[in-house]
Amino acid sequence: MAATLKDATAIVGIGQTAFAKRLPQSEKELACRAILAALADAGIEPSEVDAFASYTMEETDEVEVAKAIGAGDVTFFSKIGYGGGGSCATVGHLASAVATGQATVGVAWRSRKRGSGPRPWKNTAVQLPTPGQWTRPFGLLRPADEIGMLARRYMHEYGATRDHLFNVAMACRNRANANPAAMMYERPLTREMYMTSRMISDPLCLFDNCLETDGALACVIVSAERARDCRQKPVYVHSVAQGLPAQHHGMVNYWNDDPLSGPAWTAARHLWKQADFGPQDVDVAQIYDAFTPLIPLSLEGYGFCGRGEGAAFTEGGALETGGRLPINTGGGGLSEAYVHGFNLINEGVKQLRGVSTAQVPDAATCLVTAGEGVPTSAILLRS
Amino acid sequence: MTTASEAAASAGGLLLPVPDEDGAPFWEYAAQGELRVQACAACGRLRFPPRPCCPHCRSFDSEWRRMSGRGRIWSYVRPHPPLLPAYAAQAPYNVILVELADAPHIRLAGNLVTSADAPLDSVDPARLRIGARVHVVFTETGGMAVPRWVLEKS
Ligand SMILES: [Zn+2]
């Protein structure tokens, strides 16, 4: 038997809660609501769930979730590290488990109260050891500072400008303006607003940063065979990959030979090697956007353009609907919700079902990526 | 609840480095006014951040090699609030990444200041430039010596 994940499994259910700066429910309740919504979407009973996957930064665990939703015996569970880098790997791990017979119905989820909760970077005690001893005393405190350092160098090396970063912010905001579930629904962005907004970590301004969000999302994965009997049109998991490059250092990837060649490059090599199609065949992409510079870096890493060409790629409306590569069609982390990238997975599914609020006509292939700048993951979805 | 290491780490407002076992020698040499980087005792290659084993030849023997203390700014950011209080008080300040003259791929994060004990925002932002030549100085704070960087006279 050929050991391949290619189209062996499918996402058959997606669910989400409201997205807001503050929600009254606990993370646990939000998780349960999103998971139950995803199962209802799939038409699968919660008692049939036998696999779970989430992020190591997820604070609700599978024991509590399984108990609350009334899952049956669980035979596979997995947690993936590195914050937003884990998003797509949750689907990848479940696809592997289902394809190899370790489980039959997998649920991946992320629940987060980042909008009303504490900011992780304020926890100075846990963040000072390696590599924090080399960065935090100098005031490199937040992810925006850490990525801002790479962004400045990228701009210097390749002539990227704040206008390029604006192109990214604008594409996400324009899609969110059409998405009633997005936090930035009906809240347009202009170039003037962008250029005059306050700096967070120069060169990154307010609009280069993702949203502070409370919310939860989940999806359901079953075998391709079982998917044919589900309520929704199956969205096949075509290829999956994780990426931790040699000599990588996480958010502060300052010490290898080439800090601008991040984990996207590593994940991409494996992702495309396992796929029947290439970057030129991708109809729509959901690219992890905790910060705008991650988009040009990812466009390069995943092979949509050459090294150093990611900023120029954003010109001429390329990322907009009808452009060369429409991205983050729900609004992404910048304008829909920042739930560690899980909304990008569900939006990819919506596109391939044909029900996105910014539908790309006849979209049949979608790339979804996880956090760039940390050990990452990615999936290729196809209808 | 405040742990001992957290209290030490916030002495004087700014965070102090909390060395791990591998990084401790760096800070001990810094206390003597020396900028030293871990090198493999077997193959001689430098590595940063410090770690137990050489990624090139897997030797566990290491030594700490003294650097000239000169470098160039590889990149920089200027953090604005919200920040931890002691940093917010000096914001926007600079954080620079210095590529060492002696070891091109070893880049140390730090602050560009007008003199060792000057505030983090003491240099005119207009003088921040990728490629600018800098050299290390050390400032004493909370019982530790922390490297800072000043522009070379041009
Ligand atoms: Zn060696």
| pLDDT at res. A119 | 75
Q: Is A202 helix (H, G, I), strand (E, B) or coil?
A: strand
pLDDT greater than 90 at residue B12: no
Residue that wins the pLDDT comparison between A256 and A349? A349
B114/B96 same-domain check: yes
- Spell out a b/e string for B86-101, using b for 16 or more CB atoms within 10 Å of the CB, else e: ebeebbbbbbbbbbbe
Percentage of residues of chain B with pLDDT beyond 70: 92
Quote the pTM value: 0.95
Q: At what angle do helices A162-176 and A294-301 cross, to 10 degrees?
A: 90
Q: With bands split at pLDDT 50, 70 and 90, how would you rate the model's confidence at A1? A: very low
Residue B72 and residue B147 share a domain: yes
Q: Does the residue B51 lie in any domain? A: yes
* Whether residue B43 is found in the same domain as residue B96: no
How far is the alpha carbon of A212 from chain B, nearest alpha carbon, in Å? 13
Name the band, by pLDDT with cuts 50, 70 and 90, for residue A117.
confident
- Chain A CB contacts of B55 under 8 Å are 247
Clarify whether residues B60 and B76 are in a common domain. no
pLDDT digits (tens, 9 = 90+) for A50-68: 999 999 999 999 999 999 9
Q: How confident is the model at residue B87 (pLDDT cuts 50, 70, 90)?
A: very high
Residue A21 near residue A210, CB atoms below 8 Å: no
- Domain stop point among B66, B98, B124: B66
Averaged confidence pLDDT in chain A? 95
B92 lies within 8 A of chain A by CB: yes
Tally of CA atoms within 13 A in the half-sphere of A115 that contains its CB: 22
Q: Determine the topology of domain A9-115+210-382 in CATH.
A: Peroxisomal Thiolase; Chain A, domain 1 (3.40.47)
- Which residues make Cβ contacts (< 8 Å) with residue B84, sequence separation at least 6? A122, A124, A141, B15
| CA A330/CA A347 separation, integer angstroms | 6
Are B73 and B109 contained in the same domain?
Answer: yes
- The whole-number pLDDT of residue B154 equals 67
Report the range of poorest mean pLDDT among A120-124, A188-192, B50-54.
A120-124
Of B135, B154, B139, give the one whose Cα is nearest residue B71.
Answer: B135
Residue-wise pLDDT tens digits, A132-183: 899 999 999 999 999 999 999 999 999 999 999 999 999 999 999 999 999 9
pLDDT in tens, A300-334: 999 999 999 999 999 999 999 999 999 999 999 99
For residue A125, the chain B residues in CB contact (below 8 A) are: 3, 5-6, 9
Q: How many domains does chain B have?
A: 2
Q: Where are the domains of chain A?
A: 9-115+210-382
Assigned domain for B44 exists: yes
Measured CA to CA, the distance from residue A235 to residue A9 in angstroms comes to 8
On the question of pLDDT at A190 being above 60, the answer is: yes
Please give the residue of chain A at the shortest CA–CA distance from B5: A125
DSSP code for A229: T
CA distance A327 to A285: 5
pLDDT band at A126 (very low <50, low <70, confident <90, very high): low
Residue B13 lies in a domain: no
Whether residue B2 has pLDDT greater than 60: no
* Closest residue of chain A to B6, computed from CA coordinates: A125
Per mean pLDDT, which range of A124-138, A194-208, A215-229, A283-297 is the poorest? A124-138
User: Is residue B132 located within the same domain as residue B119?
Assistant: yes
* H-run or E-run covering A335: helix A332-335
Q: Is residue B55 located within the same domain as residue B73?
A: no
Q: How far apart are CA A143 and CA A139, in angstroms?
A: 11
The contacts of residue B104 (CB under 8 Å, 6+ apart) are none
| Res B9: pLDDT | 45
Is the same domain home to B148 and B72? yes
Q: Convert the pLDDT of each residue in B111-150 to its tens digit.
A: 999 999 999 999 999 999 999 999 999 999 989 999 999 9
Active site residue A338: yes
In a domain, B7, yes or no: no
B76 lies in the same domain as B52: no
Is pLDDT of A3 > 80? no
CATH number at residue B72: 2.40.50.840
Under the banding of pLDDT at 50, 70 and 90, the label for residue A231 is: very high
pLDDT at A131: 78
Residue B14: inside a domain, yes or no?
Answer: no
B96 plus B136 within the same structural domain: yes
Name the minimum distance, in Å, from the CA of A315 to any CA of chain B.
25
Contact A264, A369 (CB under 8 A): yes
CA distance B13 to chain A (A): 10
**Is residue B9 domain-resident?**
no
Residues B83 and B47 grouped into a single domain: no
Give mean pLDDT, residues B95-106.
95
Domain hosting residue B132, numbered range: 68-153
DSSP H or E segment with residue A227: helix A224-227
Does B147 map to a domain?
Answer: yes
B24 and chain A in contact, CB less than 8 A: no
Q: In the annotation, is A82 catalytic?
A: no
Within-domain flag for B93: yes
Contact at CB, B107 and A122, closer than 8 angstroms: no
Pairing of the two strands A76-80 and A51-55: parallel
For residues A17-28, average pLDDT: 97
* Tokens representing residue B109 in the block: 């994060």
Q: Which residues of A touch chain B, with CB atoms under 8 Å apart?
A: 119, 122, 124-125, 128-142, 144-145, 148-150, 152-153, 156, 198-204, 247, 249, 252, 254-257, 259
| Residues A92/A241, Cβ–Cβ less than 8 Å | yes
Across-strand partners of A111?
A216
In contact, A56 and A86? CB cutoff 8 Å: yes
Summarize the confidence of residues A95-107 as an average pLDDT: 98
Tell me: do B31 and B41 sit in the same domain: yes
